[in-house]
């Protein structure tokens, strides 16, 4: 089945990100007189609604006499409409234009500064890049460009009509969405993952689910929780109680937070804003990713009064850019800053790399010399471009110089480095291996936690220890808390829930976890988080001989 509509309108009206190959069938390019009166308001309406301009406007004022084929058309409000033909002429590294949301930008000077690299823009040079641009960028990304680089509106009449193929993927998603159960029918976090695999676009699924190399660490993160078992205590009057707690002085209704994860818009058009709203409604803490697809201000505005958020940072190769970011973050006063250190080098994220041709399609009519210098990027690879691989312990005082709120080092993977973090004076560590997305064969965070509990329990009095990776049930959370974590982070399940059901999905996923924590802790003999103690958990029994955890008192 084929569907025809103008590329201009399709770019503006597509809600969920869909990656489709576009088959351009250009309209006949006969010279013609373009006589259009257009006001800024009308244009804005057209841009916002995606109504093709020729259906919305009637020609009123003739501004140009015919002089061959016009490339630029004067309008009633002195705006100049730029023809698509003209845009197509600017597609080299030295002269590069793109169309985004109906506006033509000259990105020649910007190419070298583009955080996603110049290759991906060059692959779309002289074209409408809206569809690729939208799900990958926060709305304020275009503010990076200067006024003179904003050339003006493209002439919608000159845009090629496109025939969009309904792909197998479109059909697969449509069918799956029809069968998607209502949010209340989701009973386990696993349900969101199972349905996410069915209803998300291939690009979104690949980016979210992706892990490094052969995915040993990814698998081990969740499998490792099966090696730790609970030692429930009985007859402890568990009729009342709650899951409220705090970490780094931040109050939360439940002992888990939403780990920072990029690109929520790949799963749902409202992106991270859904997560901010859900966290606010449930009294939970969201850690905002440095690579969020929504603007930071946008998310901050969505907060309820007093709603705490943590802001996650990567350090930029260009430390001046990092300094500017840290100053901005300090002004916004998040509850804490999370400094991610576990991706010093971009490893292969296998699923994402396999899907890369979908993220950045090399369009058939791209001239060979304009193709990206290397093969198109998967989302992860593209994002990583600006991060500094030369991080060192000196970076902690650098951050501290600008940040007065607590600092959490995210991605600590050995007890030795936890100790160094204590010495560096940070307030928190997050034991994490980036959800298995960075160093394959890095140990499961729960094992590091157990190691600290056995060898260096004094550390728990010096610094708040958090943990994430592979946590999928309330029992997992209770085990981590028993071994000494102050709170745990949840990554992928939130992205999946956002992708399947939006904000409602995120809320439901958090409620499921909260209920499971509540059930498990009471059945283990605790009515509040502070009553969850080490002796309630150990590596799988029997708990005798060498296998007896050293912190469990002898009967």
Ligand X SMILES: Cc1cc2nc3c(=O)[nH]c(=O)nc-3n(C[C@H](O)[C@H](O)[C@H](O)COP(=O)(O)O)c2cc1C
Residues marked active site are found at 314, 342, 434
Q: To the nearest whole angstrom, how small is the minimum distance from the Cβ of residue 120 to ligand HEM?
A: 4
Of 348, 460, 453, 332, residue with least CA distance to 404:
332
Q: To the nearest whole angstrom, how small is the minimum distance from the Cβ of residue 524 to ligand HEM?
A: 41
Of 14, 243, 240, 47, residue with least CA distance to 131:
14
State which residue, 159 or 296, has the beta carbon closest to ligand X: 296
What residues between 85 and 114 interact with ligand HEM by CB under 6 A?
98, 100, 105, 107, 114
Bridge partner list, 338? 312, 408
3-state SS of 123-148 is: CCCCCECHHHHHHHCCHHHHHHCCHH
* Region label for 102, one of left (φ > 0), alpha (ψ between -120 and 50) or beta (otherwise): left
Q: How many CB atoms lie within 10 A of CB 177?
A: 13
Instruction: Name the residue with the smallest CB distance to ligand X.
Output: 491
Residue 137 makes contact with ligand HEM by CB under 6 A: yes
Q: To the nearest whole angstrom, how small is the minimum distance from the Cβ of residue 138 to ligand HEM?
A: 6
Residue 141 makes contact with ligand HEM by CB under 6 A: yes
Count, residues near ligand HEM per rule CB under 6 A: 23
Q: Is 56 exposed, middle or buried (0-12, 13-18, 19+ CB in 10 A)?
A: middle
Report the partner that residue 500 touches, choosing among ligand HEM, ligand X, none (CB closer than 5 to 8 A by kind).
none
Residue 291 makes contact with ligand HEM by CB under 6 A: yes
Bridge partner list, 466? 430, 487
DSSP 349-384: BHHHHHTHHHHS---TTS-GGGS-SSSPPPHHHHHG
CA–CA dist 216, 439 (Å, integer): 10
Which value, in Å, is the radius of gyration of the alpha carbons in the chain? 26
State which residue, 133 or 257, has the beta carbon closest to ligand HEM: 133
Residue 144 makes contact with ligand HEM by CB under 6 A: yes
Q: To the nearest whole angstrom, how small is the minimum distance from the Cβ of residue 146 to ligand HEM?
A: 10
CA–CA dist 325, 321 (Å, integer): 6
Helical (H) or strand (E) element with 162: strand 161-165
What residues between 376 and 415 interact with ligand HEM by CB under 6 A?
382-383
Q: Which stretch binds ligand HEM (CB under 6 A): 137-145, 228-236, 397-405, 487-495?
A: 137-145
Q: Is 404 exposed, middle or buried (0-12, 13-18, 19+ CB in 10 A)?
A: exposed
Q: To the nearest whole angstrom, how small is the minimum distance from the Cβ of residue 470 to ligand X?
A: 5
- Residues within the interface to ligand X (CB under 6 A): 207-208, 221, 259-262, 289-291, 312, 340, 410, 432, 434-435, 437, 468-471, 489-492, 495
Angle in degrees, CA 465, 312, 423, rounded to 5:
40
Report the partner that residue 98 touches, choosing among ligand X, ligand HEM, none (CB closer than 5 to 8 A by kind).
ligand HEM
Q: To the nearest whole angstrom, how small is the minimum distance from the Cβ of residue 494 to ligand X?
A: 8
Report the partner that residue 468 touches, choosing among ligand X, ligand HEM, none (CB closer than 5 to 8 A by kind).
ligand X
Residue 124 makes contact with ligand HEM by CB under 6 A: yes
Residue 508 makes contact with ligand HEM by CB under 6 A: no
State which residue, 142 or 552, has the beta carbon closest to ligand HEM: 142
Q: To the nearest whole angstrom, how small is the minimum distance from the Cβ of residue 194 to ligand X?
A: 15
State which residue, 146 or 251, has the beta carbon closest to ligand HEM: 146
Residue 116 makes contact with ligand HEM by CB under 6 A: yes
State which residue, 124 or 201, has the beta carbon closest to ligand HEM: 124
Report the partner that residue 491 touches, choosing among ligand HEM, ligand X, none (CB closer than 5 to 8 A by kind).
ligand X
State which residue, 97 or 228, has the beta carbon closest to ligand HEM: 97
* 340 phi and psi angles, rounded to 5 deg: -85, 125
Q: To the nearest whole angstrom, how small is the minimum distance from the Cβ of residue 187 to ligand HEM?
A: 34
CA–CA dist 412, 466 (Å, integer): 10
Bridge partner list, 22? 164
Bridge partner list, 429? 409, 465
Bridge partner list, 3? 164
Q: Where do contacts with ligand HEM occur on this chain (CB under 6 A)?
A: 98, 100, 105, 107, 114-116, 120-121, 124, 129, 132-133, 136-138, 141-142, 144-145, 291, 382-383
């Amino acid at each position: 089945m084929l569907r025809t509509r103008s590329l201009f309108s399709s770019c503006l009206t597509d809600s969920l990100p869909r990656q489709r190959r576009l088959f351009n069938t250009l309209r006949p390019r006969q010279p013609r007189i373009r006589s259009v009166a257009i006001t800024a308001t009308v244009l804005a309406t057209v841009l916002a609604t995606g109504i093709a301009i020729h259906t919305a406007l009637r020609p009123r004022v003739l501004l140009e006499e015919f002089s061959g084929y016009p490339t630029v058309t004067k309008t009633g409000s002195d705006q100049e409409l730029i023809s698509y033909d003209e845009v197509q002429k600017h597609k080299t590294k030295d002269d590069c234009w793109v169309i985004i949301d109906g506006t033509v930008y000259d990105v020649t000077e910007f190419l070298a500064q583009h955080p996603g690299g110049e290759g991906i823009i060059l692959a779309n040079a002289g074209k409408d890049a809206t569809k690729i641009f939208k799900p990958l960028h926060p709305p304020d990304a275009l503010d990076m460009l200067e006024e003179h680089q904003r050339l003006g509106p493209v002439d919608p009449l000159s845009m090629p009509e496109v025939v969009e193929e309904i792909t197998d993927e479109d059909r697969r998603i449509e069918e799956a969405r029809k069968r998607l159960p209502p949010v209340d029918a989701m009973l386990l976090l696993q349900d969101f993952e199972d349905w996410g695999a069915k209803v998300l676009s291939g690009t979104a699924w690949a980016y979210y689910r992706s892990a490094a190399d052969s995915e040993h660490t990814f698998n081990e993160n969740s499998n490792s929780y099966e090696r730790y078992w609970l030692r429930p205590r009985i007859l402890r009057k568990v009729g009342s109680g709650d899951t409220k707690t705090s970490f780094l002085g931040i109050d939360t209704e439940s002992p888990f937070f939403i780990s920072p994860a990029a690109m929520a818009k790949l799963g749902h058009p409202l992106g991270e804003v859904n997560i901010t709203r859900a966290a606010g409604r449930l009294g939970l803490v969201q850690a905002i990713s440095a690579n969020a697809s929504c603007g930071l201000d946008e998310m901050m505005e969505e907060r309820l009064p007093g709603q705490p958020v943590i802001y996650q940072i990567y350090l930029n190769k260009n430390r001046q850019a990092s300094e500017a970011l840290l100053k901005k973050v300090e002004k916004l006063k998040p509850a804490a800053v999370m400094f991610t250190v576990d991706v010093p080098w971009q490893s292969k994220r296998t699923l994402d790399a396999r899907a890369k041709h979908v993220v950045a399609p090399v369009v058939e009519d791209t001239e060979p010399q304009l193709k990206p210098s290397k093969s198109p990027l998967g989302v992860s690879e593209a994002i990583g471009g600006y991060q500094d691989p030369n991080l060192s312990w000196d970076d902690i005082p650098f951050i501290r110089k600008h940040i007065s709120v607590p600092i959490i080092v995210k991605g600590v993977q050995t007890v030795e480095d936890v100790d160094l973090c204590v010495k560096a004076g940070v307030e928190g560590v997050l034991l994490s291996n980036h959800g298995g997305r960075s160093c394959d064969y890095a140990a499961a965070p729960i094992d590091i936690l157990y190691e600290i509990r056995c060898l260096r329990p004094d550390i728990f009095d010096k610094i708040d220890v958090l943990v994430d990776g592979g946590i999928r049930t309330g029992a997992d959370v209770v085990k981590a808390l028993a071994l000494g974590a102050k709170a745990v982070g949840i990554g992928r399940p939130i992205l999946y829930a956002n992708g399947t059901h939006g904000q409602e999905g995120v809320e439901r996923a958090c409620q499921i976890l909260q209920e499971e924590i509540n059930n498990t802790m009471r059945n283990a003999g605790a009515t509040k988080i502070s009553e969850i103690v080490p002796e309630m958990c150990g590596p799988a029994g029997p708990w005798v001989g060498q296998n007896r955890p050293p912190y469990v008192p002898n009967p």
